[in-house]
Structure 1
């Protein structure tokens, strides 16, 4: 099972994400690092566990302020053997190519950033093996083209189920939604995102078909420990 730590980055700082309410995000406080600088947090995560992947939410790109082009190069210096998943609000083929120009980068495309399925086809055509689709939800609402949610044949090999209002909420993952999507995903690897609180939640989502999870708050609060990570990685 893949546990993928998350760094939400805005204005050059790692911030604490809460329920997808981005205007309320504040600089993170964590025992893993002495500052909010992304590379410093990456070092703290590296000391905790040799994660194979890390997920970066470039909030400047997502919110239309311009992509942080320094993020991937800076993090690749700290984590040279880690696959860097990055969501920068990519909504066009040109923007996708700019992200994929960094060989270590894996592009995450959030459904909330897509105008229609045609745009998704254009983006994923260039590098399907390096493109991850995030199916984004807020409450019961799917954020994106409905056809993309309804037709699993459009999904790539890796899919995130992102429940934005559960991010940083302590409310637990949306197990029912995750189970539904995993049941339709076939051989695709499905990752849970939003609401993971502890080791018990990881066991719950694994039981309904999740291949992994995106985790932030539980790592900083030490609710998921290095021992948990070692045991889970061995499965």
Structure 2
């Protein structure tokens, strides 16, 4: 029975060896992959073209054709990564498979751990890039990973503490953030009873950012509570 994993990477195995497919299903599902099996060229190609799978494990010898033809057809229509899994381990076959567009090649009999490692390596290579953590509130853009703040596209010269305070405020734009939360999250320490560092940093930050284009104050001081960045995040 096929096991469904709602958040698991979906793999397609195309191989006519039913016994091997059973072993692969057990192995891959233990590693938290969702697995679909097909056993011939026609059904294998149709399933691969469905776009449901993160990676295809493909045998080179199949009923109704061969894996290399399937690979070439697939490559012409969909950029899904493919690992060739076959008993034909000669160098010429490996080279041909790679030239036809295979991402990796593993000969039978194989070490199960090596197959898992190769699958994970190929998936990592094909993983979409992680977008930079970018916060946009009105005319202010903060690129967190690059520690850069912009106003209308122009860079703002901030100290490290000012930058961290701005990030905390923007993430909660429109809400009042207490002085203690600001100190804990931006400065990494609780605020003391006579500690004015947050207020001093905020004074400098407000001066550097300036008011909104319509003249409204950008950062409000909520008496006895904390500070609020006036605006709502939209990015």
TM over 0.5: no
Instruction: With a CA cutoff of 8 Å and minimum separation of 6, indicate the structure with the bigger relative contact order.
Output: 1
TM range (shorter): 0.3 to 0.5
TM-score normalised by length of structure 1: 0.33
Larger radius of gyration, structure 1 or 2?
2
TM-score normalised by length of structure 2: 0.33
